[in-house]
C-alpha cells in the first residue's frame, strides 16, 4: 500500500486528524499514533523513545511493575528505518512504525532471548523468527521488547504463582501492586494496561490471554486455533495453543488481528475493523452462561452488563442450559500432558547446541540442579506428569482428544449455539484479581475460558467494570472462525459502556 492510498483510505478524515492530538502514550490507540505520524506530529522514532522512557520510569522505576523482561536493543534503529520508508511514500499499513511488545515464549531472530521465563533457556536466541514475529515485521511494527510471563506459560507446577518466572521475577498488577496480574501472559497484559506499548501479543492454552486481560482491565482475544501461525512459539498443546492480541480497545485488537491472521479466505481477514459497528448488538442472539457467575458484587456487575446489551437490541436467551459447558474440560489434563511432552521435546531439540537442555527429562534435571532459584516457590509436578506419558499414539491420549471434542464442541459450543440459534455466548470472564501469594500460589478468580480453549474456538474479553477499583471482564465466545461476529459484539458493548479505567498503581485496595 503506498502512502497516498493509505492516508486517503485510513487516516486523514477530520476525526482522525483530531486523533493525532492524542499521541502521547497515555491511553493512545493505534489509530491515534498512526494519525500523529501521518501529519508529522510524531515519528516512529519519537514514539519508540516515549515508550522506552515510560518503561524506564514505570516498569523499572517506581512503581516497578516489572512487566518487560527484555528490551530490543535495535528498536530505535528499526523505528528510524520505518520513518525513512514513510518519508519515501511507503506506509505498510496501520501498524507501520507502531511499538509492540511480545511475550517471551515467541521466537524472534534478533538480539533478544526467547526463554519462557526460564533459566534453562535464559541465553537461547532463536535461529529464525516465529510466524508472529514475521507478520509483525512485515506489517511495519516495531518489536519493542519481550514481556515477562508465568514461567513456561504456567505449565510447570501445581501451586504456581502467576506472573513469576525464574528469569524475570514477579510482575505486579498495576491497579493494586499487591494483587496478581494472572497469567500466563502476565507481562503483556500489565504492559498494555500501564501504557508501556501500543499493544502486545500474548499466548493462550486455556485462559492465558483471557485471564490476565480481564484482571488488568484490557481487551484480549484468543483466536481460533490455526488463525495465527503457531510456528516458533514454545509449545504446550498443538490443539489449544495460539497467540493473540492484547490491547486497550477492541479496535486496536481488530487491527492487530488483521496483521497476524493468515489462512484461507472466509476464515482469515486482512482487515477486521470492517466488522466493528456501534450498533453491532442489535438483533444478535446471545446465550447468557450464568454458571460462571460468582459473588454478589461481580454477579450484579455482569447482570447489569447483560441488561445494557438488551437495551441495545440484543436478544438474550434465558433460561439458557449451560450445563454442557461445565463438561468441556473433561480430558483436557491428559491432552495437555501428552502434547506438551511431544511438543517441548521437538522444540528443545531444534535449539542451538549451547542451550543446556535438549529434552523434557533434561529440563526437569536442570531445574532440580538449580532448585534454589527455579524451584524456590513451587515445584515441577506438571513437568513430571508429562514426562511419564507415552507417545501421541497411546490409546489414553486418543480417547482424551475425542472426549474434548465431544464435550467442548459437539455437545458444548456447537451444540448449544445450534440448539438456541445463537450468534455468541456471553459469560463472566473472571476477576477481580486476588492477592499475590508466593507461599501458597494462585487464588482462583473464576473464569469461563475453558470451553473455547478446549474447543480451539475464539474468545474475547472486554472490561465490564470494576469492584473496589479492580477490573472485571465479560467474555464473548462462539464457533470456529467467528472472530468477525465476536469483535462486532464486543465493540458495540465497549462503545456503550466505556468501562476501562487506567490503572493508578495503588499499593493496595481493600
C-alpha to C-alpha distance for 493 and 210, rounded to whole angstroms = 17
Q: Can you read off the three cell numbers belonging to residue 283?
A: 438483533
- What pLDDT sits at residue 24? 67
φ, ψ (nearest 5 deg) of residue 291: -60, -20
Distance, in Å, from the CA atom of 274 to the CA atom of 29, rounded to the nearest integer, reads 17
- The catalytic residues are 103, 184, 208
User: 374: helix, coil or strand?
Assistant: helix
- DSSP code, position 165: E
Is 43-330+398-497 a CATH 3.40.50.300 domain? no
Q: Which of 284, 452, 440 is nearest to 377 (CA)?
A: 440
Q: Which residue has the cell 529434552?
A: 359
Give the pLDDT score at 166: 98
Q: Are the beta carbons of 431 and 470 closer than 8 angstroms? A: yes
What pLDDT sits at residue 26? 86
**Can you list the residues of the chain whose pLDDT is less than 70?**
1-24
Q: Domain coordinates of the chain in residue numbers?
A: 43-330+398-497, 333-397
Question: Mapped to the 3 state alphabet, what secondary structure does 240-309 carry?
Answer: CCEEEEEECCHHHHHHHHHHHECCCECCECCCHHHHCCCCCCCCCEEEECHHHCCCHHHHHHHHHHHHHH
The rounded distance, in Å, linking the Cα atoms of 74 and 111 is 8
Distant-in-sequence, close-in-space partners of 354: CB < 8 Å, separation ≥ 6:
123
Query: CB neighbours (10 Å) of residue 276?
Result: 20
Tell me the whole-structure pTM to 2 decimals. Answer: 0.96
CA distances from 135 to 62, 272, 365, 480 (A): 34, 16, 36, 22
Amino acid at each position: 500500500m503506498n502512502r497516498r492510498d493509505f492516508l486517503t483510505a485510513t487516516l486523514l478524515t477530520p476525526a482522525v486528524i483530531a486523533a493525532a492530538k492524542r499521541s502521547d502514550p497515555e491511553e493512545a490507540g493505534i489509530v491515534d499514533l498512526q494519525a500523529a505520524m501521518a501529519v508529522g506530529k510524531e515519528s516512529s522514532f519519537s514514539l519508540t523513545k516515549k515508550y522506552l522512557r515510560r518503561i524506564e520510569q514505570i516498569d523499572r522505576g517506581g512503581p516497578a511493575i516489572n512487566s518487560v523482561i527484555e528490551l530490543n536493543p535495535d528498536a530505535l534503529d528499526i523505528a528510524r528505518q520505518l520513518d525513512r520508508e514513510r518519508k519515501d511514500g511507503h506506509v505498510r499499513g496501520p501498524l507501520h512504525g507502531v511499538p509492540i511488545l511480545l511475550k517471551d515464549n515467541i521466537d524472534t531472530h534478533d538480539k533478544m532471548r526467547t526463554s519462557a521465563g526460564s533459566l534453562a533457556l535464559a541465553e537461547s536466541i532463536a535461529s529464525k523468527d516465529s510466524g508472529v514475529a514475521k507478520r509483525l515485521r512485515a506489517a511495519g511494527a516495531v518489536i519493542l521488547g519481550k514481556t515477562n510471563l508465568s514461567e513456561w506459560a504456567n505449565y510447570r507446577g501445581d501451586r504456581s504463582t502467576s506472573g513469576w518466572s525464574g528469569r524475570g521475577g514477579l510482575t505486579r498488577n498495576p491497579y493494586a501492586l499487591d494483587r496478581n496480574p494472572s497469567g500466563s501472559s502476565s507481562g503483556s497484559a500489565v504492559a498494555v494496561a500501564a501504557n508501556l506499548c501500543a499493544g502486545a501479543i500474548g499466548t493462550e492454552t486455556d485462559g492465558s490471554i483471557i485471564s490476565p486481560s480481564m484482571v488488568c482491565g484490557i481487551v484480549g482475544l484468543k483466536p481460533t486455533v490455526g488463525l495465527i501461525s503457531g510456528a516458533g512459539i514454545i509449545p504446550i498443546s498443538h490443539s489449544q495453543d495460539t497467540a493473540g492480541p492484547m490491547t486497550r480497545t477492541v479496535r486496536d485488537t481488530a487491527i492487530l488481528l488483521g496483521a497476524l491472521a493468515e489462512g484461507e479466505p472466509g476464515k482469515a481477514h486482512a482487515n477486521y475493523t470492517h466488522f466493528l459497528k456501534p450498533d453491532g448488538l442489535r438483533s444478535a442472539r446471545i446465550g447468557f452462561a450464568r454458571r460462571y457467575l460468582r459473588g454478589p458484587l461481580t454477579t450484579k456487575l455482569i447482570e447489569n452488563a447483560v441488561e445494557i446489551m438488551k437495551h441495545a437490541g440484543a436478544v438474550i436467551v434465558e433460561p439458557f442450559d449451560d450445563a454442557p459447558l461445565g463438561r468441556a474440560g473433561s480430558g483436557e489434563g491428559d491432552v495437555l500432558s501428552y502434547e506438551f511432552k511431544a511438543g517441548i521435546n521437538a522444540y528443545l531439540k531444534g535449539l542451538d547446541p549451547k542451550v543446556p537442555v535438549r529434552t523434557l527429562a533434561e529440563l526437569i534435571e536442570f531445574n532440580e540442579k538449580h532448585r534454589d532459584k527455579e524451584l524456590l516457590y513451587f515445584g515441577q509436578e506438571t513437568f513430571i506428569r508429562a514426562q511419564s506419558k507415552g507417545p501421541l499414539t497411546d490409546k489414553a491420549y486418543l480417547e482424551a482428544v475425542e472426549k474434548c471434542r465431544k464435550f467442548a464442541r459437539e455437545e458444548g459450543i456447537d451444540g448449544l449455539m445450534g440448539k438456541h440459534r445463537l450468534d455468541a455466548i456471553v459469560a463472566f470472564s473472571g476477576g477481580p484479581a486476588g492477592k499475590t501469594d508466593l507461599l501458597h500460589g494462585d487464588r482462583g478468580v473464576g473464569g469461563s475460558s475453558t470451553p473455547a480453549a478446549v474447543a480451539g474456538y475464539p474468545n474475547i474479553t472486554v472490561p465490564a467494570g470494576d469492584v473496589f477499583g479492580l477490573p472485571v471482564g465479560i467474555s464473548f465466545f462462539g464457533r470456529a472462525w467467528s472472530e468477525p461476529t465476536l469483535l462486532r459484539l464486543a465493540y458495540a458493548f465497549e462503545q456503550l459502556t466505556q468501562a476501562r479505567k487506567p490503572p493508578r498503581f495503588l499499593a493496595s485496595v481493600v
